[in-house]
Structures are given as C-alpha cells and as structure tokens.
C-alpha cells in the first residue's frame, strides 16, 4: 500500500501507472504480445511519436503551439529526398541539409511570431499550408524512392533482435533535450518565457531570441522525426506528417507537460509515446475494432487527468495532516 502511494506521488505516475497496467494485462492476456516481432514493432513505432512530441513540447513550454509540425516534417524530407536522389549527396550531408531545412522553417515561424505581431496561432496555421504547399509544388506530389539502401535499411535495423536502431536515436534526442532543458541556460530561459514573458524580459532574458530559438529547435526536431519516418518507409512520402498534429499534442500532455507553458517534463514524451503505442497495440491484440482506437486514446487521456488529480489531492492531504500533527 505504501509503495503504491509512493508511486502515485511520483510526477510521472499518471503515465507510468497506465503503462504498467496495460503492459501487464497484455502480457497476461495475449500470448503474442511478448513475442520479439511484436516488441520490435512496438519499439519501432515509439521514436517518431516521441520526437514529434518533443517538437511540440518545446513550443508548448513557450506557451505557444506549433500547428505546422507535420508540414515542417514533409518539407524537410523533401529537401532530404532532393539532396539524396536528385543531387546524389551522401547520406550524412542529406540528413544535415534536411535538419537545416527544418531549423530554418522553425526559425521563420519564430521570427514571424515574435516580430510581426500577427496572432501566433494564425501564423502557425498559415505556415502549415505554406510549407506543405511548397513541398507539393516542388515535387508535384512525386515521392522519392531511390534512396540510399543503407539508409533505408537503418529504419528497420534490429539490434539484439529486439530493438530498432531508431529507438536509440529517440533516446539520444530525448537525453539531449533533457540536458538542454534542465541543465542549460537556454532551457531555463525557454521556461521563463513560457511562464511569464514580461517577467522574463525583466530578468534579463532576450524574449524574442529565446522564442525564435525554441521554434527553431522544434523545427529541427520535426526534421529528425521526418528523417526517421523516411528511413522506416524507405521513401520520401508527401503524406509524411499528415497524422502528426494530434499525436504531437497528446504525447507530451500524456507525459505531463502543461499546455499553458512554463512547465515541461522532458522524459514525459518518451513515456507518453510508449503509452500511445501500447494502447494501439492492445486494441489490435485484444481484437477490439480499430474504430475504438480513438475512443481508447481519449479515455486514457481523461484517465491521466484523474490520476494526476488523485496524486495532487493525496499530496495535499499529506502535507495538511503533517501540519496538523505538528500542532
């Protein structure tokens, strides 16, 4: 009982508890769940969720939203495709170019948000169309499928027969983001700008610069997610990113990021992404109609809220009774 209480008090309990529950239930009820094929597949789906979630999280921490995550992803991957297929660049250069493209798109968004005075939501909305439109105009909708074979293989590479190589990339990116947010000045500044922009300025933070950098990082992360997606699909696809927007919000939020800015949980998206994938997996394994996928994700999100409330209530009660005891 005490253990459970302790667990409930942990910051991430609202995501860890559902993960453990679903994982346990699946392991008991479904024999295929622990098969290496299934585990590999689960781990293979996680990285993109996580990185897209991180891309959104960093903008959320600024108290803003990036609706263009998917479009930035698709335009970056088009740059990647052009570099690799049309210009015959080596893989590393192509990846670099794609990331630069992503950062640039984020940068443009950041500059417009800070300098133009136009409503940030509308900017993001317009850029969503603009970036995607640009990708379409450049390619005329044609995919790039003659990619470097080694690169495509990477997306499906198995390590120890269980882990896809991509999950290590996601872990690495999460780690870097963790350090960035928690241990670098930039992270503190980002959170400060998200919590109270004016106070941040009065604390000597360059608000505009910080916001721009935040958006740029978000753009870069979108590009990384896109590259991982390309390597999994083995081709650059213009529908990449079409399904990212909802995911990008759900993942960090499941992972405990406040949408109002100023507070984030960097490890959260990793767990949030994992939880999403587990739910999807459970729905297929339990033979529930895939129509229920949506409903299940929604219910889990609501459940996360409940767990969080329970946790807070318990901690408050504890603190209160501690005071009473003292008296």
Partner 1 sequence: MDFAKIRKSNSFSVSIIIVFMVVVMCFFKRNYLSSDNISALLKVLAVTTLVGVSQMISIASGGMNVSIGSVGAMAAILSGLLMQNLKVPVLLSILIGIGIGVLSGIINGLLIYRNGGVGVASFLTTLATNSVFIGIIYMITTGHGVSKIPDAFVAIGSSKIGPVPTSVLIVGVLITLVYFMFTYTSLGRQILAFGANPKAAELYGISRFKTILSVNIIASILAAIAGMLVVMRVGTAQPDIGSDWMLQSFAAPLIGGTRQAGGKVVVFGVILGVLVLTIIENALVHLGVDVYWTELINGVVIIVIMAFDRLRSIKN
Partner 2 sequence: MSKKEEYILELENITKIFPGVKALDDVSFKIKKGEVHALVGENGAGKSTLINIISGVFGPTQGSIKVDGKEEKITNPSKAFELGIGVVHQERNLIDTFDIAENICFMDISTGKNKMKDKKAMNQKAERAMERVGLDLKPWQGIEELTSGKKQMLEIARAMCMDSKVLLLDEPTASISLTEADMLLKTVKQLKEEGVSIIYISHKLEEIFEIADSITVIRDGKNIGETLSASSLNKDKLIELMVGRKFVTETYNNRDLSKEPVILEAKDISSKKNPIPKSFQLKKGEILGWYGLVGAGRTEYAREIIGIDPITNGSLLIKGSEVSIKSYEEAFQRYKLCYISENRKEEGLFLQHNITDNVGIIALDQICTKGGFISYRKQNEITESYKESLSIKAKDIFVETASLSGGNQQKICIAKGLCVNPEIMIIDEPTVGIDVNTKGEIHKLIYELSVQGISVIVISSDMGELVGIADRIIVFRDNEIKGELENSKDYESMSTKVMGSILL
Partner 3 sequence: AGMMAGCKGGTDSSSSSSQTQDKTAYDQSVWKDVVEFGAVDGKTDKDYAFAGVFGAINSYSDPMQGAADIAAEELGIKATEFDAPKDWVQNDQNTILDGLIAKGIKGIYMMTSDPVAGNEQISKMTSSGVPIVCVGGSPSTPSKATLTLATDVYQAAYDGTINLIKAMGETGGVVGLCGAVTDTNTQSRMEAIQKACAEYPNVELIQIIGDIDESEASVTAIENILAAKGDQISGFISTCYYPSVALAKILSDERYSNVHAIGCDTDEAVLDGIKSGALDGTMSQNPWGQAYLATVTLKMLTDGWTYKADQDFLVDSGSFYITKDNADKVEQTQMEATMEMAKTWTDRFDAPAK
Cβ atoms 66, 92 nearer than 8 A: no
Q: How far is the CB of 226 from partner 2 (least distance, A)?
A: 30
- The Cα–Cα gap between 256 and 249 comes to 11
Site string for partner 3, 131-150 (x = CB under 8 A): -----x---xxxx-x-----
A 10 A CB-CB count for 109 gives 30
Instruction: Using the minimum distance from each CB to partner 2, give the nearer residue, 164 or 255.
Output: 255
Q: Is 67 helix (H, G, I), strand (E, B) or coil?
A: coil
Interacting residues with partner 2 between 111 and 130 (CB under 8 A):
none
Interacting residues with partner 2 between 294 and 323 (CB under 8 A):
315-320, 322-323
A 10 A CB-CB count for 168 gives 14
Measured torsion, CA atoms of residues 219, 221, 225, 231, in degrees rounded to the nearest 10: 100
Cβ atoms 219, 70 nearer than 8 A: no
Cβ atoms 192, 205 nearer than 8 A: yes
Which of the listed partners (partner 2, partner 1, partner 3, none) does 191 bind, with a CB threshold of 5 to 8 Å by partner kind?
partner 2
The single residue among 118, 179, 199, 288 that binds partner 3, judged by CB under 8 A, is 288
The single residue among 35, 129, 203, 294 that binds partner 2, judged by CB under 8 A, is 203
- Name the DSSP class of 144: B
| CA angle 142–150–163, rounded 5-degree value | 105
Interacting residues with partner 1 between 70 and 129 (CB under 8 A):
112, 116-119, 121-123, 125-129
Instruction: Using the minimum distance from each CB to partner 2, give the nearer residue, 12 or 200.
Output: 200
Residues with Cβ within 8 Å of 283's Cβ and at least 6 positions away in sequence, in order, are 290, 292, 293, 296
Interface with partner 1 (CB under 8 A): 67, 112, 116-119, 121-123, 125-134, 136-137, 140-141, 246, 249-250, 253, 258-260, 289, 291-299, 301-302, 305, 309
Interface with partner 3 (CB under 8 A): 30-33, 35, 37-38, 41-42, 45, 48, 136, 140-143, 145, 152, 155-156, 229, 232-235, 237-240, 242-243, 277, 280-281, 283-291, 293-294
């Amino acid at each position: 009982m005490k253990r459970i209480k302790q667990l409930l008090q942990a910051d991430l309990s609202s995501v860890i508890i559902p993960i453990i529950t679903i994982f346990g239930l699946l392991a008991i009820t479904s024999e295929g769940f622990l098969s290496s094929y299934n585990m590999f597949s689960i781990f293979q789906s996680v990285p993109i969720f996580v990185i897209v979630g991180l891309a959104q999280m960093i903008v959320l921490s600024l108290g803003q939203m990036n609706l263009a995550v998917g479009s930035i992803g698709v335009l970056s991957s088009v740059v990647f495709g052009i570099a690799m297929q049309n210009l015959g660049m080596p893989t590393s250069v192509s990846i670099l170019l794609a990331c630069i493209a992503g950062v640039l798109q984020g940068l443009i968004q950041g500059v417009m948000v800070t300098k133009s005075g136009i409503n940030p939501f509308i900017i993001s909305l317009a850029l969503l169309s603009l970036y995607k439109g640009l990708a379409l105009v450049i390619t005329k909708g044609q995919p790039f499928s003659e990619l470097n074979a080694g690169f495509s293989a990477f997306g499906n590479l198995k390590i120890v027969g269980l882990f896809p190589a991509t999950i290590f990339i996601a872990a690495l990116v999460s780690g870097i983001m963790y350090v960035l947010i928690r241990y670098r000045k930039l992270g503190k500044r980002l959170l400060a700008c998200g919590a109270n922009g004016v106070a941040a300025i009065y604390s000597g933070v360059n608000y505009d610069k910080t916001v721009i950098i935040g958006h740029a990082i978000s753009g870069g992360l979108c590009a990384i997610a896109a590259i991982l997606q390309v390597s999994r699909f083995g081709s650059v696809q213009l529908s990449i990113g079409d399904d990212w927007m909802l995911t990008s919000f759900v993942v960090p939020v499941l992972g405990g990021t406040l949408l109002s800015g100023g507070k984030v949980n960097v490890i959260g998206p990793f767990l949030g992404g994992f939880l999403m994938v587990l739910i999807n997996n459970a729905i297929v394994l339990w033979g529930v109609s895939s129509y229920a996928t949506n409903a299940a994700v929604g219910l889990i999100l609501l459940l996360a809220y409940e767990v969080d409330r329970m946790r807070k209530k318990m901690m408050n009660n504890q603190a209160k009774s501690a005071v009473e005891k003292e008296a």
